[in-house]
Every structure is written in structure tokens, then in C-alpha cells.
Amino acid sequence: MTEFSFDALRRWPDLEADNLFAADAADRLILDAAAAALEASAPGEVVVIGDHFGALTLGAGALHGARRVRVHQDALSGERALAANASALGIGGHESLPLDAALLEGARVVLLRLPRSLDALDEIAGLIAKHAADGVTIYAGGMIKHLALAMNEVLGRQFTEVRPGLARQKARVLTVTHPTGRVGRDEGAAVSRPEPLSVGASIRSSLATRPTTTWPRREFHEEFGLWLCAHGGVFAGTRVDIGTRFLLGVLGEAKPDAASAIDLGCGSGLLAAALAKARPRISVLATDQSAAAVASARATMVANGLDDRVRVVRDDGLASQPDASADLVLLNPPFHIGATVHSGIAPRLFEEAARVLAPAGELWTVFNSHLGYRSALERIVGPTRQIARNAKFTVTASARDELRSVRVVASRSAGE
């Protein structure tokens, strides 16, 4: 086997910090639980879903001999980190694919980092049950504080056996077998009803008892006159999160003369769709690093007849966009990296916006008021004024400062 160390893995090009790690106990436990199955697998029979930075994909090959591993990572930064780690460690043999039939066709071993969203898990489980080999086994794991009994129920819709393993270093793995459409309950298989995996775990989704439906789901929002479409892994699903709703309330004031606009971190694409609908002559780009978000936003544009006017791209920030190319950028920045609260992600997005804004361009940002982003916006982008504020959120408009923008671009270039 190839020499391999979890400690050698990096998160780059994602944020790196003392409290952010490229591998954890759940990665190690999943690989240990699946060891025999991985070693017995034929080339192309192993699929990895949700690998954060390459620990599962590279560990499956280097430690257990898996070959031609297919992998899906929702975050583009995760894909790039996996590629960078594979290159640095001299480990090849994986292929990154979208979350679809081609990823799972003929798969017999699936290594899955359990997503915190039940909807995301529902979509993943349905695809595995439909497209993987009859004898597929899923080794699904995570840190216990992020798991809940509802995950077993979701998996139990698609598979007749869900077996929890013993916890280790605050991680746990579920072994999932027998897709329900292929093995009847009268053939001896039974759904395991294990104890709760965690009490008080935070799950951002609808109830697990809701029947499975075709993805993406869609919902019409009368107040905006728009359909909103969402795959399972998108924040808020087909609902409108309250921060976005607050920004939508003042969107008509945002740079009325703008000829081009970017919805940065577009999620399901509501801001981009609303702007394009209200301003037929504006050119709109919607961008997100999440594959699920990009697929959702594209579906939203099609559902609203805006797909010929709004371009949706998967990008790490605005890396693929040229300097000084947009009159208006809209941003509702996240302040979590996975399950970790971290202050570094918003300033990084502010820097991207500052670089891409054209002269006299503006960044319109909505954020939780307690985060106090205004000083960072002043420093990174330019003069910032408050547009609206309520009990929870603040909307600001930051005008591009030419000197600051030049410094941001120079600093960025020096770091490359």
C-alpha cells in the first residue's frame, strides 16, 4: 500500500486555521469499518460521497487498495483540496463526478459523510438505492454531536437494514444495506431501530417522516411571483431564509443604474431571479461553490423562464470572474464552515467582491447585526452606509474604493 498519513492532509484552498482540520475521527472510523469491503472491492466499485478534503478517497486507496474510486463533493473547494492532496502525496486513481446515476452505477461500497441536512441525506439515499449494485453497502458516519435518530429514519425509507456501530472518539458509523426496492421485508430483512445517535443535534430540514419526493423540489412564492427550486443539500430548501427576505425588501434601491450584477453565494438563486425579473435589461450572474446550490439555481431560472438571462456557474468565490467586471454584487455571507463558526469566510468574500466591482460599483450585504461586519466592509471594499436594520439583520451598501481595490488585487497576487 502507498504510504499515507491523515496528518499530511491540508484544507487548502479552503480556509486553514488552528481550529479547522482536514480529517477527523469520523473519517478514520468510516475507513476502519469499511476496511474488509474496500480490500475485497474490484476497480470502480467504490464510491465516496461528502469527503471533506480527501481523507476518505485517498485513505480508501492508500490504506485499503481501492482502485478507480468515484467521488462526489458538494463544495468546489473540497474538490480542489482533494486534487491538491492527491498531487502532494502522489496518490492518484480517483474521479470527481456530479451526484447522479453515473456516480453510483455498479457501486458496491459507498463511503458517506452524513450531511447535517435530512433533505440532503434523503436525496443521496434515494440515488444510491436506485443506481448502485444490488448488494451495495453504505458506511455512513460522522461526529456524534452532528447525528440524530432522524437520519436512521431517512435511510430506513430506502434501505431495510440500518445498523449503528460502536462509537469511537465521539464518532459513529451506520452500516446500511438492502435497498427496499430490491429486497422485500418479507424476505427476512428488517429495519433496525437503534438508539438515538445524539440528543439535541441541530438538523436544518423538514420532518424525517415526510414522504420522499423527486428532486429538486419546488415551491411558488406568491409575494415574489417566483418559483424556488432546491436540491436536498441547499440551505433553507424551497423556503426563503429571513436574511435573504430582508435584503429582498430593499433590492429595488440597489444600484438602479447597474448594467451587470452578481449574486455571490446564490444558494437556490432567489436573489438573482428577483433582480432579473425586476430589471429585464440587467445582466445577472449567479455563483456558488456548492454543486447542489448551482443545480438548484439553474432549476429556479428554468422554472421562472429566466434561464436565458441569468447565467449560473460553480465557482470558488469569484475566482473565475475578471477584475472590475460587475456594477453590483449581492451577498448574504455564511458564518459557518461546516459545523464550525469561523469569522474568516466573510472577509474572504468581501475581498472577492472588492476585486470584481467596477469603478463606482457597490456591494450590498445582509448579515446578522451582531456580527458587526461594517468595519470589515469599510476596510476591504470602501465607504459603507447602512440601508436597513431590524432586530436581527443589517443591510449595507459598500462603494468600491479604487485605492483599496488596487491593494486587494496586489495583495491577492502576491499571495499566489
What CATH number did the domain enclosing 133 receive?
3.40.50.150
350 shares a domain with 264: yes
Residue 269 is given by DSSP the state S
- Is 28 part of a structural domain of the chain? yes
178 shares a domain with 271: no
End position of a domain, from candidates 187, 204, 226: 187
Condensed to tens digits (0 to 9), the pLDDT of residues 71-85 reads 999 999 999 999 999
According to the model, what pLDDT value does residue 19 have? 79
According to the model, what pLDDT value does residue 393 have? 96
- Is 388 part of a structural domain of the chain? yes
181 shares a domain with 240: no
239 shares a domain with 153: no
362 shares a domain with 254: yes
50 shares a domain with 156: yes
- Is 264 part of a structural domain of the chain? yes
- Is 201 part of a structural domain of the chain? no
Q: Is-contact 271 262, C-beta < 8 A?
A: no
373 shares a domain with 261: yes
According to the model, what pLDDT value does residue 326 have? 97
- Is 211 part of a structural domain of the chain? no
Helix axes 402-415, 345-356, angle to 10 degrees: 110
According to the model, what pLDDT value does residue 211 have? 46
Residues of the chain whose pLDDT is less than 70? 1-2, 182-213, 335-344, 402-416
Condensed to tens digits (0 to 9), the pLDDT of residues 205-255 reads 333 344 455 899 999 999 999 999 999 999 999 999 999 999 999 999 999
Q: Please report the DSSP string for 129-182 in residue order.
A: HHHS-TT-EEEEEEEGGG--HHHHHHHHHHEEEEEE---BTTEEEEEEEEETTT
234 shares a domain with 96: no
Tally of domains in the chain = 2
Q: Residue 45 sits in which domain range?
A: 6-187
246 shares a domain with 179: no
350 shares a domain with 288: yes
